[in-house]
C-alpha cells in the first residue's frame, strides 16, 4: 500500500517563490511539513491504495480530465486556519469549484481506489506551515504574514497525482485537461 493524493500543483516558478516562505518558517519556527510537497491545492486528500491499481487510477484520471477545460487561478493574500496553519489563499473561482465537484464525483464512482472526498467544506489553500507550527508560535508567525500580499496568477491545465515516498511527496502524474 502506498499513500497518494490528487491536487493542482503550481508551476515551478511559483513553487520556487512559495518555497522561500516555507524555508523561512523552517528556519524561524522549525516547520518542515510544508517543505515535504510542492506548492499545491489539494482536491482529494491523502488515501492509501494498493500500488497495483496505480496505472488504472492514472488512466481513469486521464479520461476524466480530457473533458475539463483549462482555467486560471488567482492568488492575492495570505490567510490562516488558526491556530496551526498559514497559507496562501487562491480566489475561489467557479472553475475551481467545478473541478472539485468533478473530482468528488470521480471518487464516489470509483471506490476501488480508496480515495474519498473531503467531508469538510472546500477551502482551497496553498500551505506554508501547518501541523508542526506550534500553537504558541502561531501569533508571532501570523503577525509576519497577515498583512503581506502574494499576487500571482497561473494557468491550470492538468490534475496531478502525488505519491508519498516515505519522506516527501513526489508528483508522479499530470492528467492533462482538454486542449
List strands edge to edge, sheet with 169-176: 40-49, 2-9, 158-164, 169-176
Per DSSP, what are the bridge partners of residue 129?
Answer: 86
Residue 142 confidence (pLDDT) above 90: yes
pLDDT for position 116: 95
pTM, 2 dp: 0.96
The DSSP-derived string for 61-93 is HHHHHTTPPPEEEEEEEEEEETTTEEEEEEP--
User: Is 14 within 8 Å of 45 (Cβ atoms)?
Assistant: no
Q: What is the pLDDT of residues 146-178, one digit of tens each?
A: 999 999 999 999 999 999 999 999 999 999 999
Dihedral sign from CA coordinates of 19, 24, 27, 32: negative
Question: How many whole angstroms separate alpha carbon 86 and alpha carbon 141?
Answer: 8
pLDDT digits (tens, 9 = 90+) for 24-54: 999 999 999 999 999 999 999 999 999 999 9
Instruction: Please give the CATH architecture assigned to the domain spanning 2-176.
Output: Alpha-Beta Complex (3.90)
Amino acid at each position: 500500500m502506498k499513500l497518494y493524493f490528487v491536487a493542482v500543483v503550481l508551476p515551478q516558478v511559483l513553487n520556487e517563490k512559495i518555497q522561500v516562505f516555507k524555508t523561512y518558517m523552517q528556519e524561524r519556527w522549525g516547520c518542515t511539513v510544508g517543505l515535504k510537497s510542492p506548492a499545491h491545492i489539494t482536491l482529494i486528500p491523502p488515501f492509501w491504495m494498493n500500488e497495483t491499481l496505480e496505472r488504472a487510477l492514472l488512466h481513469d484520471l486521464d479520461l476524466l480530465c480530457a473533458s475539463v477545460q483549462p482555467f486560471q487561478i488567482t492568488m492575492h493574500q495570505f490567510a490562516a486556519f488558526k491556530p496551526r496553519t498559514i497559507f496562501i489563499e487562491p480566489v475561489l473561482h467557479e472553475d475551481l469549484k467545478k473541478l472539485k465537484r468533478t473530482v468528488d464525483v470521480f471518487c464516489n464512482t470509483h471506490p476501488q481506489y480508496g480515495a474519498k472526498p473531503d467531508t469538510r467544506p472546500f477551502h482551497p489553500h496553498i500551505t506554508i506551515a501547518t501541523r508542526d507550527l506550534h500553537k504558541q508560535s502561531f501569533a508571532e508567525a501570523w503577525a509576519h504574514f497577515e498583512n503581506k500580499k502574494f499576487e500571482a496568477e497561473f494557468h491550470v491545465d492538468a490534475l496531478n497525482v502525488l505519491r508519498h515516498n516515505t519522506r516527501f511527496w513526489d508528483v508522479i502524474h499530470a492528467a492533462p485537461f482538454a486542449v
